[in-house]
Amino acid sequence: MLFVRNRNVLVDLVMILFGISSWISINGLWVELPLIVNVLPENWNLPSYLVAIVQLANLGPIIYSILRWKINVNNAYCIYFVLAIGVLASFIMIYIWDKTVDILGAAHSLGLFIPIFLLSLVDCTSSVLYFPYVGTFKSTYLNSYLTGEGLSGFIPSIVALSQGIGKKTTCEKFYNETSQEWATNIVYEPPNFSVEVFFYFLFGMMLVSLASFMVLDLSPFARSEKISESELTTISKKTDSDENQETLPTKSPTKEKGDRGYNNTEIWFLLGVQGFINFFSNGILPSIQSYSCLPYGNHIFHFVVTAGSALGPTVAFLGHFFSYKSLKIIVGCVTFGTIMMGLIFATAVNSPSTMFDPSISGPLVVILWILNGIFFHFSKIEIAGVCRDVKSSKYLFWYGVLTQVGSALGALKFRIEEDNRCCITKEMWEKELEEVMRELKLLQDEKEKMSDRFERVSSLATLKTKLIEHRKKVEMLTVEELTKAHEGNLLASQRSRDHNLKELKIKLEIEKMKLASEKFVEDKVSQPSNDKETPREDTC
């Protein structure tokens, strides 16, 4: 174990701030996606576009590698150029990220794609550009740079959490006049600050990283922590001589040891291990993380993601105090990390079912992810330290190359498979949604029928209650009361009949009197006319 001393803490701090620029732009964009996808026309297809853009940006490391092979490029000038592009692209992105352009009849977010491509060039090139430059400093500052590189993913996550990404959404019903149906709309709670403010933060971090690099490159106290040019030249010539001796056919395969006892074969083996680690840790494992964790609850998934963001800078910081650089220890850590990774794959394949006892499954999955992260991060830091101890910028350059190649291959393979799986999941989800809507409609019809039945049952229950109350009242009456009531009813009916009979007799007498009077009048009227018609006898 090596306890690191004789360091300038201010150079450590500046080196950390410089390392933050390595991947902060792309990491920051990914954590901001939940807000961006709701605004841009690509919607949830936006991540697929961004993956393609990031993969295309791997042209940056390729171009730099060709230039490094053909001509002797100055790392410092290249870093100035790359950081200037990052600062400019971050500033432009603040104002044009939501601008769209019609391409082949469809709207596309060209205002976001162009800055993201430039920022991806910066981040992808940093893997092959920054490490050789950091190698010109004392080995103790390599862990400081790796700490900053780890913070490039952790800091944007913390800022995104303070922004309010991940808040709960609500569903509101609205009437669609076109389809004349009720529909549901997802309403997102507004963030604590806007996307533009978050992009201002990324722009500020790029400015800080540029200023930090200027301090590293120009300040006297930082220059004093560099290895002298004569020492670098001597070691580089010695390394090239060792390689030439190993390639001679007449030489026996004896080991030409470096400062730490590693020959070129062992170093290239470790570089291959570095590519293997990044192929899985940066490409494959993030793609299956949700499948591995979500069966045990969202809180498990959230804890694994948060812990994973903090592991990188934490392990790199501990590397300041604990450094072994042993081939056996590195291989052992990679082996244990691979075993943990196999168990993680098993949990993902077994999803959505749990592999273990439900009471311990969630914490066990968290432990698997944390152990895998610790072993892999520690192995990467140790391999970087071995490449640094050889004191040849070539190995740190290839360390960055294999880091980027492994990450790109893993991301390319599993992004394609993940996109296909998402398409299948979407089709299955649409079918499942149709089934759910059909069942919901049946339930609504059944609810209406049950409501009608309930109303009828309620009315019958009311009538039954009234009938029971009436029966109770009837049962409370005695026989005498019933008899009296019956006699009273008979008497009342008799009186009613007598009254009606009297009325009929009166009406009959009235009718008789009317007839008699009419007859009397008729007799009186007919008597004088009869006297005029009969002649008197005495006249004759």
164, 83: one domain: yes
Task: Determine phi and psi for 226, rounding to 5 degrees.
Answer: -85, 160
pLDDT digits (tens, 9 = 90+) for 315-324: 777 766 666 6
221, 332: one domain: no
Instruction: Name residues whose C-beta falls within 8 Å of residue 327's C-beta, 6 or more positions apart in sequence.
Output: 262, 266, 270
295, 387: one domain: yes
Q: Mean pLDDT across the chain, nearest whole number?
A: 75
Element housing 74 (H / E)? none
Element housing 170 (H / E)? strand 169-176
Instruction: Name residues whose C-beta falls within 8 Å of residue 281's C-beta, 6 or more positions apart in sequence.
Output: 372, 373, 376
Q: pTM to 2 decimals? A: 0.60
Q: Is the pLDDT of residue 113 over 50?
A: yes
Q: Is residue 532 part of a domain?
A: no
Q: Which range in 48-52, 175-179, 259-263, 391-395 is most confidently predicted, on average pLDDT?
A: 48-52
1, 56: one domain: yes
503, 395: one domain: no
pLDDT given at position 278:
78
The domain in which residue 490 lies consists of 477-512
- Between CA 379 and CA 325 the distance in angstroms is 9
Q: Is the pLDDT of residue 241 over 60?
A: no
209, 332: one domain: no
Instruction: Name residues whose C-beta falls within 8 Å of residue 429's C-beta, 6 or more positions apart in sequence.
Output: none
485, 342: one domain: no
The CATH number of the domain holding residue 156 is 1.20.1250
Provide mean pLDDT across the span 88-105.
89
Q: Is the pLDDT of residue 263 over 60?
A: yes
Task: Determine phi and psi for 530, rounding to 5 degrees.
Answer: -70, -35
pLDDT band at 286 (very low <50, low <70, confident <90, very high): confident
Q: 461 or 214, which is more confident?
A: 214
Q: Is residue 63 part of a domain?
A: yes
Q: Which of 80-89, 99-108, 192-201, 392-401 has the lowest mean pLDDT?
A: 392-401
Q: Is residue 353 part of a domain?
A: yes
pLDDT given at position 208:
92
Q: Is residue 333 part of a domain?
A: yes
Number of structural domains found in the chain: 3
Q: Is residue 433 part of a domain?
A: no
Provide the token pair at 296: 């045990």
386, 292: one domain: yes
Cβ atoms of residues 258 and 384 within 8 Å: no
Task: Determine phi and psi for 514, rounding to 5 degrees.
Answer: -60, -40
269, 208: one domain: no
Q: Is residue 467 part of a domain?
A: no
Q: Which of 325-334, 379-388, 468-477 has the lowest mean pLDDT?
A: 468-477
* Cα-based angle 141, 144, 148 (whole degrees, multiple of 5): 145
pLDDT given at position 206:
92
Q: Which of 140-154, 386-400, 482-496 has the lowest mean pLDDT?
A: 386-400
pLDDT band at 4 (very low <50, low <70, confident <90, very high): very low
- Between CA 445 and CA 287 the distance in angstroms is 43
pLDDT digits (tens, 9 = 90+) for 297-317: 666 766 776 677 777 777 777
Q: Is the pLDDT of residue 145 over 80?
A: yes
390, 277: one domain: yes
Boundary (domain end) residue, out of 418, 442, 463? 418
Provide mean pLDDT across the span 524-540.
54
pLDDT given at position 203:
94
121, 186: one domain: yes
447 CB neighbour count, 10 Å cutoff: 9
Q: Is residue 462 part of a domain?
A: no
Q: Is the pLDDT of residue 422 over 60?
A: no
User: Which residue in 302, 308, 269 sits closest to 285, CA to CA?
Assistant: 308
pLDDT given at position 468:
83
214, 264: one domain: no
Q: Is 354 exposed, middle or buried (0-12, 13-18, 19+ CB in 10 A)?
A: middle
Q: Is residue 39 part of a domain?
A: yes
- Between CA 154 and CA 308 the distance in angstroms is 9
